[in-house]
Amino acid sequence: MIPRHGAIAALQKFLSKHADNRRIHGMTIDIITRLARLVLDTNCFVYNNKYYQQIRGGAMGSPFTMTLANV
């Protein structure tokens, strides 16, 4: 499990290193960071017919979470 705060900080550092004028393919680093937080903060799952919101880490098997962990 990757800590969300550390993952977002690593993502921002990675994007800053590879950005041109603080943009990646036309999107600002701020927008990309906000989208990353949205994905992490709104992940839900079902267990025993009950819905839960994941409050720590990222969803296992999620393509986004795997990419974020690699960053």
Q: For the chain, what are the domain ranges?
A: 4-70
Nearest to 9 by CA among 39, 38, 29, 26: 29
Q: Name residue 44's amino acid.
A: C
CA 37 to chain CA centroid, nearest Å: 5
pLDDT in tens, the chain (71 residues): 788 899 999 999 999 999 988 899 999 999 999 999 999 998 888 999 999 988 888 887 788 888 998 99
Find all residues with CB under 8 Å of 42, minimum gap 6, and list them: 53
Cα(60)–Cα(55) distance, rounded to whole angstroms?
13
Phi, psi torsion values for 47, nearest 5 degrees: -140, 125
Enter the pTM of the model. Answer: 0.81
